[in-house]
A and B are shown apart, each in its own frame.
Chain A
Amino acid sequence: MSETFSAQKYLRDIKPPFCAGCGAYTVTNVFLRAIHELGHENLDKFVFCSGIGCSAWIPSPHFKADSVHTLHGRSIPVATGIKLMRPNVNVVVFGGDGDIVGIGLSHFIHAARRNLDILVIMVNNMVYGMTGGQVAPTTPFKTKTTTTPYGSFEHPLDTAKLAVTAGACYVARWTTTNTNELKESIKKALNMKGFRFIEVVSQCPTAFGRRAGFKDAGEMLKWFKENAVLIPLAEKMSESELTTRIVVGEFIQRQRPTLVETVYKTMEEAQKQVEN
């Protein structure tokens, strides 16, 4: 680190669209801090993909970098085409829970299965925030949203566990109160290959907190702090005890042949066969 950290160095001079108290500010700041600590003077070696939703605006148009702001749910397919044809760039996907594991769920699973070399940072605010606060696949049971006025009658998806099962090389979950752990996870993930997934449980005071019974962003952060539980402790808790908890930590770290490696190896083999 040659100089002190300044997020502005990596950002365009455009006013961010996020509400006061939004967790996207924290995620932006922590991500750029990780970039700085890894010694990147700029974001020239990165390509960012995002879909539709509030957190899609974290990289696009704000990061001074290549960014492709895609359709709702399709950031991972677009990232697939980019990474395969430009294996030397670091592809990072930012997206919300609705984008990544609602409408885009199958791409998420298949990218983990293929071990596509990308980092996916999912900002999980447990709601469809941009459209005004509708229930999401990640909304806790019994939570009031605009489309569940009597409380949600569905159970949320554990995306971190899903990513592990599907084959991801690195999976971590933190809340926006775990800024240091999150930053270290991002740094670690950026130095790894294969499919890497970091879920950030984040506050949306406007579209989620208000209806779910939180006065402001501060109350939500307090909720995160009080209910976050590290993996080793969570393993000792019963399923019913865990329903109201947020399990945080690193779920897996492993190496598997990555998609870029297997695709280019196949290409070599195909060309050898032709020569023979």
Chain B
Amino acid sequence: MKKHSTNTRFWQGNEACAEAAIVAGCRFFAGYPITPSSEMAEHLAKRLPQEDGIMIQMEDELASIGAIVGASWAGAKAMTATSGPGFSLMQEGIGYAFMTETPIVIADVQRAGPSTGQATKCGQGDVMQSRWGTHGDYTAIVLSPNSVQEMFTLTIKAFNLAEKYRTPVILLADEIVAHMREQVSAPLLETLEIVNRRKPKTDEKAFFGLEEVPPMPAVGEGYNIVATGSTHDEYGIRVTADPIPHRKLVERLNHKIQNHADEIADYETYNIDHCEVGIVSYGCTSRSIYEAVENAEKKGIKTGFVRLRTLWPFPEKAIKKLAETAKAIIVPEMNLKQLFYEVERAACGQARIIPINKIGGGELITPEEVLAKIEEANKE
């Protein structure tokens, strides 16, 4: 292994994600080329074999997610990276990973959709797909980085959450944070918390129930695992018609995440106790709010924000708190109102929710546009 002499790096976002995956213990990557995520596959194709890992380019995204599920059951930490169209193709596999409690990480580097859209241009249109993309009752864990630094730290966090809760975790990046280059302070391995799935004891047999997050063996270890995406009992045996086992299983799978929403919630706040105008933002869009808030304050407008690192489960307590003080909350997004309604729901009518939406050409919402909206909201 190539040892780095210092821990400060100048990385592209996709590279930072790839390097973080290795730090987190990822040793298997399967993917299909798609802009703007391909650098992750390219970087890992070079780096994983150096670290006793495997990168394989599959024939499509259906195969990619299938292969990482297989690798995870073989005991490896595994990930894939994609963008909108490929993310759509992976949705069935994400549901399968959820149902079989398979820890995997999916990096979706968002671009402008629907369909092929503008393949090289940034968008934030996959927010709802990341939450509701697969069919059936399902709870997603979705993280949203807003810098190259966070492409690093949140990738490690994504693996940790996947291993802790035995569930797929989505790193919902975007073209801007994935393609830009910034200084990254990569913490030394010794200082990082790396979570590994809990292995069963030799005589344990229930890998799909009895506990909130059951232990997970690997194939080839003599446990006689029965993994299935069909409704199953605690031992993996299919129960395809009885209502009770289905309720029990699917409710547990959802609750094991929902009951820990507060622990999973990760966000940055500023001045939320004393603001008149609030902002809720995430991902690349949130990079414009710092300057906007600074300038608003110079103009005497008390402004605060919640900047979300966890999108799902939605950190509604933070929004509720912001709505208690702010008379208006601005939600800037590079989509046509996706998280907007979620903010509105969490605010419970306590604050007026004002959208800023911009799509196409990868044009960012500028600090000036945010500032103009803050001033407008403050007047009303």
A residues sitting closer than 8 Å to B (CB atoms) are 14, 44, 47, 49, 60-61, 64-71, 73-74, 76-86, 88-89, 106-107, 110, 263, 266-267, 269-271, 274
Contact = CB atoms under 8 A, between A and B. Distances in A.
A82 B66 contact: no
Contacts of B227: 67-69
B62 A74 contact: yes
A71 B237 contact: no
Contacts, number: 140
Contact of B70 (A60, A61, A81, A271): A81
B50 A85 contact: no
Contact of A110 (B59, B74, B78): B59
A42 to B, nearest CB: 9
A200 B155 CA distance: 45
Interface stretch (B158-166, B217-225, B273-281): B217-225
Given A61-B226, A71-B93, A267 B52 contact: yes
Given A263-B54, A271-B49, A106 B226 contact: no
Contacts of B27: 85
Interface string B227-248: 1111000001110000000000
Contact of A81 (B30, B46, B49, B220): B30
B74 A107 contact: no
Interface residues of B, number: 49
Nearest to B60: A106
A60 B96 CA distance: 16
Chain B contact residues, majority secondary structure = mixed
Contact of B74 (A61, A82, A274): A82
Interface of B: 1-2, 27-28, 30, 46, 49-50, 52, 54, 56, 58-60, 62-76, 78, 92-93, 96, 100, 218-220, 222-230, 236-238
A77 B224 CA distance: 21
Nearest to A75: B66
A267 B54 contact: yes
A12 B220 CA distance: 18
B223 A66 contact: yes
A64 B224 contact: yes
B63 A107 contact: yes
Given A67-B227, A85-B28, 19 more contacts: A66-B223, A68-B100, A70-B66, A74-B66, A74-B96, A76-B63, A77-B64, A77-B65, A78-B73, A80-B30, A80-B70, A81-B68, A81-B71, A81-B78, A82-B71, A84-B54, A86-B74, A86-B219, A110-B59
Contacts of A64: 224
B225 A85 contact: no
